[in-house]
């Protein structure tokens, strides 16, 4: 022991999460996810008021949400690269400002293109700088605890999805949808920008002692090879299986997140009851993230996705004949728990490809998720306009879940391509 009371030798993995500001990373990330994932899930509550005020079709209205996911997907690659180079603080500060401003100025829209610019571009670009930087920072910061910490932070997203829809509905009932947008935008702007200031870049696998930090060699991917670069990762079939898996996962998820509220209202359920369905999905997704995230180290991240996609597909088949409110609530509970499987995406990418380029690899992978999340609501809205109901839309979504399940079954640890093969 030194005279200062600190051990003379570095402590390795014996310091609690407070090491290298670990607690601030967890708490800040949790709060950011509560707010950002919450307001993202609340779009379905604004769906009917927008239709009623402007007379747009479902496809036109859901198109703004879909466009935001396209922006999210492509810009997530850039945000992942920026996070790898400069850390999460500046990226998330900028992104939180965009999301808050987008919601705030939505209160002034009068034509469709305003919605596409404010929700599609501002909020889409803003959301692209939330998921990947937060998930990549956690993957880099907590080593073999990354699955558990990812689950804890994603619980924040589930909590936001639980609280935000009924709160947004209450604001719309008490005031109107325009005032509600102003309140939500102001909240995002203040909370996310402030929380981002407590994040910091964290070197891979730290040792700590005497108040100093040193970098340890990161874990290799599960294949036993050295960590993959982005170029190496995208040359593997496993990367594309992962991207296809999350494409269909996002397709299923956001058909429901956007269209379950208008579907329920069309069945004669009150707006408060319809918003409660989103809250149930968010609440059970939180439970799913806790349960599935905690068992991922035992059964594997791929197996977690198999469980989740199976539950989501089964729930969608149940939804087809459901008409009563209790049936929709049961659907929401099963679907929401399965939706919690997304907790394993970032750890799965780290497991397969390593950590040195994790941010940008995850960013490209999230592009698949984003495109699926964009395609699902748009296709569902178009089919509903065409057929006059959501039956075909939900059937297509159930089949999409099965396609994702098939791709998940094909995922295994990738082998590095032989560089000599390129010259031939």
Q: What is the pLDDT along the chain (424 residues), one digit of tens a residue?
A: 444 444 444 333 333 433 445 778 888 889 999 999 889 888 888 988 998 899 899 889 988 988 988 888 788 778 878 887 888 888 999 999 999 999 999 999 999 999 999 999 999 999 988 887 887 788 777 766 666 777 788 778 878 888 888 899 999 999 999 999 999 999 999 999 999 988 876 554 443 333 334 444 455 565 556 778 888 888 888 899 999 999 999 999 999 988 999 999 999 999 889 889 988 998 898 888 888 877 887 888 889 999 999 999 999 999 999 999 999 999 999 999 999 888 788 888 888 888 777 777 887 888 888 889 889 999 999 999 999 889 999 999 999 999 999 999 998 877 665 544 443 3
Q: Where are the domains of the chain?
A: 19-204+219-416
Phi, psi of 206 (to 5 degrees): -85, 150
Residue 122, pLDDT score: 93
Sign for the CA dihedral angle at 369, 410, 333, 386 comes to positive
Residue 4, pLDDT score: 42
The CATH classification number of 19-204+219-416 equals 1.20.1250.20
Strand runs labelled E in 52-134: none
The whole-angstrom separation of Cα 229 and Cα 248 is 25
How much is the pTM?
0.74
How many Cα atoms occupy the beta-carbon half-sphere of 294 within 13 Å? 7
């Amino acid at each position: 022991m030194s005279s200062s009371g600190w051990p003379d030798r570095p402590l390795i993995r014996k310091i609690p999460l407070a090491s290298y500001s670990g607690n601030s990373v967890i708490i800040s990330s949790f709060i950011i996810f509560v707010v950002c994932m919450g307001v993202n899930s609340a779009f379905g509550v604004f769906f009917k008021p927008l239709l009623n005020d402007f007379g747009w079709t479902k496809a036109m209205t859901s198109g703004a949400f879909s466009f935001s996911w396209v922006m999210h997907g492509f810009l997530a690659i850039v945000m992942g690269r920026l996070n790898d180079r400069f850390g999460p603080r500046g990226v998330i500060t900028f992104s939180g400002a965009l999301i808050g401003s987008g919601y705030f100025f939505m209160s002034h829209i009068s034509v469709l293109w305003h919605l596409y610019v404010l929700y599609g571009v501002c909020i889409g670009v803003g959301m692209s700088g939330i998921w990947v930087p937060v998930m990549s920072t956690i993957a880099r910061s907590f080593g073999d605890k990354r699955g558990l910490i990812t689950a804890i932070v994603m619980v924040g997203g589930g909590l936001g999805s639980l609280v935000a829809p009924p709160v947004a509905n209450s604001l719309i009932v008490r005031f109107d949808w325009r005032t509600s947008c102003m309140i939500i935008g102001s909240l995002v702007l203040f909370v996310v920008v402030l929380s981002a200031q407590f994040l910091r870049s964290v070197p891979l696998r730290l040792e700590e002692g005497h108040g100093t930090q040193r970098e340890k060699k990161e874990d290799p991917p599960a294949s036993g090879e050295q960590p993959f670069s982005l170029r190496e990762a995208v040359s593997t079939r496993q990367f594309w299986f992962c991207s296809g898996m999350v494409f269909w996962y996002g397709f299923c998820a956001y058909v429901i997140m956007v269209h379950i509220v208008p579907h329920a209202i069309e069945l004669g359920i009150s707006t408060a009851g319809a918003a409660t369905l989103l809250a149930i999905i968010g609440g059970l997704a939180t439970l799913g993230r806790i349960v599935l995230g905690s068992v991922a180290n035992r059964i594997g991240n791929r197996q977690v996705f198999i469980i989740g996609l199976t539950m989501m597909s089964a729930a969608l088949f149940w939804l087809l004949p459901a008409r009563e409110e209790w049936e929709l609530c049961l659907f929401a509970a099963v679907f929401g728990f399965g939706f919690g499987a997304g907790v394993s995406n970032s750890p799965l990418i780290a497991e397969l490809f390593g950590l040195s380029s994790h941010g940008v690899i995850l960013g490209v992978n999230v592009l698949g998720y984003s495109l699926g999340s964009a395609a699902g609501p748009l296709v569902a809205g178009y089919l509903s306009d065409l057929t006059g109901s959501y039956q075909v839309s939900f059937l297509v979504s159930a089949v999409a879940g099965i396609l994702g399940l098939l791709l998940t079954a094909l995922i295994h640890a990738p082998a590095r391509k032989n560089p000599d093969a390129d010259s031939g």
